[in-house]
Structure 1
Amino acid sequence: MLTEHRRIALLTDGASNAFLAKTAISLLRYRTSDIAVVIDREHAGKTSADLFGVGQVPVVESWSPSLDCDAIYIGIAPPGGKLPAAWKPQIEAALSQGIDVVSGLHDFLTDHEPWVQLAKQTGANLIDVRKNNWKETATGQPFREQCLRIHAVGQDCSIGKMVTTVEMDRGLRALGHDSKFLATGQTGIMISGQGVPADCVVSDFVNGAIEHLVRENDSADFLLIEGQGSISHPAYSAVTLGLLHGCVPQGLVYCYEALRKEVKGFDGCPIPPAEEQMQAIKQIAQLRGPTQFIGVSVNTRRQSAAEAALEIQRAEDRFGLPACDVYRDGADKLIHAAVQLRQELFSEQPANMQQLLSQPSLQEAER
């Protein structure tokens, strides 16, 4: 299990930026106590806060046994998922000391035969988070009736779909609800220790793999299912569709980044208006079962606090839904919307919403 690693070195050498290192940023945010160091020779002597705005983990020049780590995690998610050639000596040095190496890239560690042999000799583990052998199609059979499935969808890649579902799950559990986050991408799997790498499942079997993941966990009252790509994405829309039909969500949260106009990594490719995307998502999802949007998650990272507040208000006025930036403000509005949807769908005794709203948010409880 990935969660057994308690002294992790994050490798982001030469790629320590928000565009490429989203895996490292999320691991620093959600497995803070497990991250020992960040490896980046250019920024040695700084901290993770200097590079990513998260944590106070020291940045070191290279891997060495003196770091006393039990694993190296590849901390980047670049387009195409290739392992940088310059990193190979660092990986080999770690393997020679019996240190596990964990990667979420499409370029599998276990396809490098010399590394496989070296790992056997030293007792190290090569773990490719995306590697899978799923070969079953979906059955189309219903899930447990009382299991509420909330799925994050959005305008593009890397806008906060994973963080939205993680924060909603954490908040629901903090309020005493039976909730579980379901990872569908490499970073989510590295955080939670399990899940389905949806973008690396053969297309015929994506729906089935997600259906199986949900069915394994539908004893929970709330399932928060991580989203991937977007329904209009020129490269990744197939994964988005497979997720929609595999998890059959009753509730949807639309995620977008303020000021983003073009598809990430596709210069000159405009993102369709949110209303068009939301209409398409809902129509496609309803081919499998009734669903509705319950909220909007806005990523305001490129805006000031004042601009972000105005953006949130505009989103609520524009979509007629509760909106928030889960990074800045927490996910309380979305959590309350999920609880309300459950009450409406399953005719549960209505909670005292005033009491619910008066409870401390997860962020306040952690302070």
Structure 2
Amino acid sequence: MMLSDFSQSPLRAVLFADGVFGQLEGKTAQGVLRHSSILETVAVIDRSLARGSTGTVVVGTDIPIVASLDEAMGFRPEALVVALTESDYGECVDGQFQHAPRVPGDIPEFWWEQIHAAVRGGLHVISCLHLQLLGTDLVDLLAEGQRIVDIRRPYDELPKYSGRTHRSRARLLHVAGSDCVVGKRTTALQLQHAARSRGVDTGYVGTGQTCLLVGSSEGAIIDRTPVFQAAGLVEHLVQKADPQYDLLVIKGQASVLHPAFGGLATAILQGSRPDVVVFVHDPQRKVRYHWEHLPVADPEDEIALVEQLGGAPVVAVATRGQENVRALRYLGLPVADMLVDDGAAQLIDAVESVLLRAGTPLHRTAAQGSDREF
């Protein structure tokens, strides 16, 4: 993993999420704050929420939100994490957030100021930008031992898909969904935690930038891979992690019926060769995230297609809010709110029940309640 060779872990980190921390575009910063085992968030930079607390966005947290890195330095950070991409950029217009995505490499002046300040201040910089910072003059400013990590760099090894190798140990739980930014990563990480709490040695195969920042057993930025090689890379990551775990959780991207990203979602699904699938859906979302002219597909249709493409049953549905739970019961599958205490446990019950009926029950080889570091 790209962050595994830092000698100190977790790194004390400032998350840069200017203008977006409280928006859907702030999902990377929110995910790091909620789930990361390798980054300890000490402050968040977002001028629109400065002098507030992260608890207003991520319930159960209480980290200061500041307006600049200069303010954050008082919390003794070791790294600045640029927890957004150029396409996440937005502006406040008449008190409302307006998404205004920029093309890769078009970096707002304030972002540059904060990144340069971090390098001059001796911090490591961990960047989710499409622009590769290691290709800029920032490299000339680095002190000995100081690092820049481009999370979205292309994967070095692109093995071909074989379809011939069988897993020797792990069962695989794939988390699919009906759209982008619908809760797949949160669901996957909550399921991993619930399985570990039962003593199931559970790993996580990351497929996106936030997955790598929270800590994953194996992972890569799959959308940086040519689509015809994506399934082979996913297969490779799963095979590397297989001997170490009794259960692997992998998060899909977008949705298999998404016109822009369906090829990527399908490649991850077929490359992972799952045993079971949990499907994530928000019944209140009628149009696609940032494609408001495109409707979200009917969940019954998409679930049937996921089962056909992945060759594994969809065993449960994850959502947020009890109103949504009630609205989705017509699907005839277990449905749970992933942000309530027993939500993930309900879905792990469904996973275990299906695997048991298939004659492939989960083994419990870890100590009860184990939360092994990656």
Alignment of 1:1-367 (within 5 A): 2=3, 4-31=9-36, 34-64=40-70, 65-76=73-84, 78=88, 83-111=107-135, 113-119=136-142, 121=143, 123-131=145-153, 132-193=155-216, 194-219=218-243, 220-286=245-311, 291-300=312-321, 308=322, 310-316=323-329, 318-329=330-341, 330-346=343-359, 348=361
Could you give the per-residue CA deviations for residues 211-266 of structure 1, whole angstroms, max 9, x where no partner exists? 01100111211111111110111211111011011101111111011300001001
Per-residue deviation, 1:51: 4.2
Q: Percent identity?
A: 27
Cα distance between partner residues in 1 of 2:237 and 2:109: 34
Aligned residue for 2:94?
none
SS of 1:327 mapped into structure 2: coil
Contact 1:134 1:205 (C-alpha < 8 Å) held by counterparts: no
Contact 1:146 1:346 (C-alpha < 8 Å) held by counterparts: no
Which of the pair is proportionally richer in strand? 2
Contact 1:343 1:350 (C-alpha < 8 Å) held by counterparts: no
Per-residue deviation, 1:133: 2.5
Cα distance between partner residues in 2 of 1:349 and 1:166: 18
The TM-score, its normalising length taken from structure 1, stands at 0.85
SS of 1:272 mapped into structure 2: coil
Letter in structure 1 aligned against 2:123 = I
Aligned residue for 1:355?
none
Contact 1:7 1:69 (C-alpha < 8 Å) held by counterparts: yes
- In terms of mean alpha carbon deviation, does 326-335 or 208-217 score higher? 326-335
SS of 1:149 mapped into structure 2: strand
> What residue ranges of structure 2 are gaps of 5+ in the alignment?
89-100
Which of the pair is proportionally richer in helix? 1
Pick closer, same or farther for the CA change 1:60–1:348 going to 2, 3 Å.
closer
Could you give the per-residue CA deviations for residues 79-120 of structure 1, whole angstroms, max 9, x where no partner exists? 666654421111011111221111223232223x2112222x
SS of 1:346 mapped into structure 2: coil
SS of 1:14 mapped into structure 2: coil
Per-residue deviation, 1:18: 2.4
- Superposed CA RMSD: 2.5
Cα distance between partner residues in 1 of 2:57 and 2:192: 27
Higher RCO structure, 1 or 2 (CA under 8 Å, sep 6+):
2
> What residue ranges of structure 1 are gaps of 5+ in the alignment?
301-307, 352-359, 363-367
Cα distance between partner residues in 1 of 2:250 and 2:22: 26
Displacement over 4 Å in runs of 4+: 79-83, 347-351
Cα distance between partner residues in 2 of 1:92 and 1:326: 38
Cα distance between partner residues in 1 of 2:227 and 2:24: 26
The TM-score, its normalising length taken from structure 2, stands at 0.84
Per-residue deviation, 1:75: 2.2
Per-residue deviation, 1:350: 11
Cα distance between partner residues in 1 of 2:303 and 2:109: 40
Cα distance between partner residues in 1 of 2:168 and 2:354: 14
SS of 1:218 mapped into structure 2: helix
Contact 1:157 1:264 (C-alpha < 8 Å) held by counterparts: yes
